[in-house]
Amino acid sequence: MTNDRMDTQVIGLEREEKIFLNDYKARLFDLMNEKFSEDASHCTECLSAWLEVVQDLLQAETVLFYQRSESSYQLTESLSLNMHPITVFPETLDDIFEGDDGIAVRTITGTVFVNLNLAFRLMDQKGFPYGALLISAPQLEWSRHTLMSFAEYSSMYLRKIQYFNQVVEEEHRYRELFKVNEAFHSSMDVNILLGQIISTLKRVFPDYGFLLLLSNDNDKNHGDLPIRDFDYDSANTAAMQAFVNGTIETEFQASEQKLTLYAPLKGKQGVYGVLEVITSSQFRFHENHREFISLLAYTAGSALENAKLYQQSRRLISDLQLINETSHRLNSNLRMTETLTFLKKQIKRSFQATSIGFIFMDENEECKVLPESSSFFQSFEGASYINFVKRNIIKEKDAIFIGDISGKFGKELSYLSLMAVPMVQNDAIIGFCIVLHKNPYSFSFDMYKLLQSFIHHSTLALTNSMLREKLEELVETDHLTQLYARNFLDEEMVRAMKDDEQGTLLLLDIDDFKVINDTYGHQTGDEVLIQVARTLMNESEDIGYAARWGGEELAIYLPHKDLKSGLELGERIVEKIPEMTTPSVTVSCGVSYWSGPNDHVKDLVKRADTSMYYAKNNGKNQVANI
């Protein structure tokens, strides 16, 4: 072959290679215009379209593209004209790239690369291996310069794909951030906000795992959301640093082969928890992923803060309305029983308490459980709670708030959450209120402060009710004999004659009472009067009202009883009085009866008085009815 002919062949080959490269660049340019103008859902078609161009221009039998991730290769796209396409073990790909230009030619039989005669290592934007292109085109004999140009054009196309994918992903992420930001500003429901955070992360990063660690989370009902309390005692160092410092922290756990990122949910007033993002050890958190997670966590923290402040303001308004309503009711001259019943109802409604106890203490610090308390406080276990609270309140002179009381008693308990507030009057503790719940940490600190306000406002009303009832008791009761006063009995008989159908009145006079005073003295006379009064109370218990009528005169009114019942009672009393008194005395008794609407209290009393003096003037120590 002459030199001229050889030169002609070389020139022809060079021209053919130039045409190939120009055609390849043109085809890649067309692909970019066609694919990159479409939306993100078509990005996956860019690689397969590229391989079709490569196969077409090189008339290749097989084209394989392995994309590199961290330390290994994964088969991403492949085209083959063979029924059984060639496969390559990814871990062997690094071995075939021997030259700095990244091109290796393999034609040696008997290796894993049999029939694959071209291999290209393609670089990303930062100069790191992006992937490996393997080609089976046995008839192809391009110069090394042409192959290097082909590799460079291919790398440029892949870099464009990589950049476009990053732009599309970033646009997608920020669209999601915009959408979730809109959702955050349209709702003040904490559970809705938390659900938005998780759903957004799952859409943007479907391969990651997520967990929200919330501090001071009072609402435990979050459904299926991956949410847990932030445990200050068991939290790892990275999570604690993220929470305390408000910074993004990462931690690699070799034993579990996972990488975890902690992003603080930070607002203007504090940190409300930590977002935990988990991936496997073969991945790393890209800078733009970290930035997105950080922005989402910050936005979520601000939204969470606003929602909590909104809920707190609503709760404060509700609490103020409740305190105002309670104060209004407590200042409406309720009796003590009514006051405690109302207070118990309000506490149960506000705190969902399981048991509520009202305990009063006397001057000797002896405790009395008021009847309006839950029945639990009458039990042996209830007494242990009362004694515990009493000791602490007397010692500390302050309210008690315990989230889990199980460690205080050293035994299994029925109730684990406890709040107790002392009732203070004139700087003295007159009692306390205990509020219990079966589950631990059921009461929040806000509930504790509200209970303190409740008891503070109610203590004055309770003491006023006690004083008023004592005053009423003094007005209704004779101080010496503890019998009802005459005014009370008069009012009861007036009421009875309006509402009842019949009734009986007994008037009694101690015979020769002046002799007792003159002989034994007025103190003994008072003791005799007390003894007679006690007999009347015992005999009339549950059937009538015993009263001191005046001086040594006493009375019993029997509502709904007929004359026969009155006479029988009078006989028993007259018979028992000499036995029940020291020195022994007798009584004279007069009985009167009313029936029908035309009688009057004044007439009833006059008839009883006449009968009593008849008995006294006719031998004393007897019962009369005239």
210-222 tens-digit pLDDT? 888 888 665 656 6
List the single range of 101-105, 173-177, 484-488 with lowest mean pLDDT. 101-105
Contact 160, 36 (CB under 8 A): yes
pLDDT at 122 over 70: yes
Highest mean pLDDT among 238-252, 331-345, 446-460: 238-252
Residue 511 pLDDT: 95
Comparing 258-272, 458-472, 554-568, 589-603, the range with the smallest average pLDDT is: 458-472
Give me 160's structure tokens.
Answer: 């464009």
The token duo for 534 is 């006690």
If we measure between CA atoms, which residue out of 416, 353, 409, 419 comes closest to residue 384? 409
pLDDT of residue 543: 94
Pairing state of beta strands 587-595 and 623-624? parallel
Q: Quick one: pLDDT at residue 40? A: 43
pLDDT tens for 493-543 read 999 999 999 999 999 999 999 999 999 999 999 999 999 999 999 999 989
What is the reported pLDDT for 7? Answer: 54
Which helix (H) or strand (E) is 136 found in, with range?
strand 129-136
Mean pLDDT computed over 55-59: 87
pLDDT of the residue at 357 = 92
Residue 109 has pLDDT above 50, yes or no: no
pLDDT tens sequence across 557-577: 999 999 999 999 999 999 999
pLDDT at 110 over 50: no
DSSP state of 333: -
List pLDDT tens digits, range 4-29: 554 555 566 678 888 888 888 888 88
The burial of 447, by beta-carbon neighbours within 10 Å (0-12 exposed, 13-18 middle, 19 or more buried), is given as buried
Residue whose C-alpha is closest to residue 447's, from 402, 494, 380: 402
The mean pLDDT of 108-114, rounded to a whole number, is 46
- What is the model's pLDDT at position 441? 86
Separation CA 151–CA 626 (nearest Å): 136
For residue 609, is pLDDT > 90?
Answer: yes
Distance CA 90, CA 78 (A): 14
Q: pLDDT category, 45, cuts 50, 70, 90? A: confident
From 530, 518, 540, select the one nearest 581 (Cα to Cα): 530
**Among the four given CATH numbers 3.30.450.40, 3.20.20.10, 1.10.3720.10, 3.10.105.10, the one describing domain 187-311:** 3.30.450.40
Position 4: which residue type?
Answer: D
Q: Give the tens place of pLDDT for each residue, 355-372.
A: 999 998 887 888 889 888
- CATH fold for the domain made of 331-468: Beta-Lactamase (3.30.450)
CA 362 – CA 366 distance, rounded (Å): 6
Please report, to the nearest 10 degrees, the dihedral formed by the alpha carbons of residues 18, 23, 28, 31 taken in order. 180
Which class would CATH give 13-168?
Answer: alpha beta
Average pLDDT over residues 580-584: 95
pLDDT score of 42 more than 60: no
pLDDT at 105: 60
* Residue intervals in the chain for CATH 3.30.450.40: 13-168, 187-311, 331-468
Read off the tokens for 308. 């909590």
Q: What is the mean pLDDT of residues 268-277?
A: 83
**pLDDT of 591:** 97
Residue 457 has pLDDT above 80, yes or no: no
Does residue 460 register a pLDDT over 60? yes
Determine phi and psi for 327, rounding to 5 degrees: -60, -40
* Mean pLDDT of the 428-436 span: 90
Q: What is the pLDDT of residue 111?
A: 46
Whether pLDDT at 124 is above 60: yes
Res 188 pLDDT > 80: no
How does residue 470 score in pLDDT terms, banded at 50, 70 and 90? low
pTM reported for the whole predicted model: 0.41
Condensed to tens digits (0 to 9), the pLDDT of residues 371-424 reads: 889 999 999 889 999 999 999 998 888 899 998 888 777 677 889 999 999 988
Q: Which CATH architecture has domain 486-624?
A: 2-Layer Sandwich (3.30)
Copy the structure tokens of residue 237.
Answer: 């160092």
Query: Helices 513-520 and 522-540: crossing angle, nearest 10°?
Result: 140
The 10 Å Cβ neighbour count of residue 288 is: 12
